[in-house]
Structure 1
């Protein structure tokens, strides 16, 4: 049977929506293989009423940002021959899983029966997997990453339970399986999950030399000033273009027991105002967490700083240092050019180093260096 996925991919090529990229070939082939496996596994006739769903060997696409992993997975999701399917960011899914686990643990028998269809037992993994599997036989995860110990400790058992219930998994990630939860607490307990990924998913590197997001940044520029309507419009258009149709699902970072909520986030990108990051009581650990979690930061409404905003300027310096050290891509909507942001006042001389870093971070070499 002709592949609906490859037909959709070829149609995009013909329209000029995407350009030919040999590095995407192995990923496209793996997804087309899974498409065929899912089609062949579809039950038919009276047997469909009694046949238990079977999990197919999934696909794990990994590589640097901007190589088309999400685009390929989205095309696959649109054409996959599965009625019950779901595409979501991985951290959104895990947030839902933790809420289900909490509901199971805190619920009385009646509440458990109403939500999960059962009430017995102390282990929440099986009933949670039942809920997830009932809603989707194909799960596609974007931005698969594991940084939270709570996620790390349950993933192996959860995914085993989902696979046993006939759920097929597809994921995109910036990290290969062996780099997941790298240097994490009790990582040895996480290693069986890595083995599970390798055994039950086809791992494909999408590491072509061409970064499509980088094309957009180079074309649009990364520093928008002054902060006038034209630059505000260009800044937001670039943000929406980089999102590629994804919604701003938000992200909550847990840092030393505190939670920092960033409402305008999607995958590895975040948009935040200067006030939300530098006019509140955040510190070095918070900025390092932002820099580690996001590969691209859109910073809006950066003002021209004065001596009476010395504390905000100090936080801004720490933020830029963290982003610089992590090689984060930075797009800024500001009142002025970097060297004119803090021209005089206490700390203005020291600020020159930050201005120099901002100049470097808007260069073509910096944008290319992120990978």
Structure 2
């Protein structure tokens, strides 16, 4: 993983003014993502590891368990207990106290199908413990944090918190899985509590979810510490994933962008090239102050490194509720080989989110609560 040099991690660059023609791949007269070169300090990377905007105000009280599935209420009750154990302040002390804290630190894995509220419960746990004492991020965000800060610095930073919440735990990259397993082990040894979920696509897409036994097998030495909370139930949104993206003509995309004071417009290829120059941990900062992203010339991506960077951008757009408006050839975004390969769950998740973001952009409605995946 690429480390961020200290000089470039000290500030966030100003973004290009809206009226200035954007260089690189931007289109004249409109703001452009390719004109942005965010430099993000380590403190900001850590400060942004909180529940995403969609779950910013959720709590155990706002989770409505299905009475037909008692495991949902059981999960709420157990997570309330976990939060209560983390309420007292951590004690400073010697090695004896650290060993005792490590032995007592809870570790829970929320195991369930799509749409049963695992992320809602994870965010509720984070809020109950307190965001000042919790690190909350997706598996991908945490691996990028290690890439930006380095492993030892990440352990030191996260080791100061009481709780680490990991949403969308992924097993598709052996190297990242081994690294994350080591990170969890070192944090657990410091007495940090851990809560994790997986968040894969519906079974209708042929992918389903990975089950608790897969998670426990991959984290190896930590498996005995984890308590599995099985959450049964139906997808509360009663829908399948949206994987098709609404495509407009280039003139319509430009008109939509021009009507939004905080929108950007870029050529797709130019944006993909620009992403290769920005560390993925900075993709969130790339979107600062943006409420809509327009892209022209969208086409199928046939290189895996480029596709994986695009997946990260889609995730950051989705986390921030930023719709997109697209023009292009309407082809599938990823190749059939990618959709059948080892990263297929990432790609299907991105397609689902891409479709929802594009539908919202085409409708001119940034509120996608009913479309969240």
TM-score by length of 2: 0.49
Q: Which has the higher contact order (CA 8 A, sep 6+)?
A: 2
Larger radius of gyration: 1
- Name whichever structure is richer in strand by fraction: 1
- Name whichever structure is richer in helix by fraction: 1
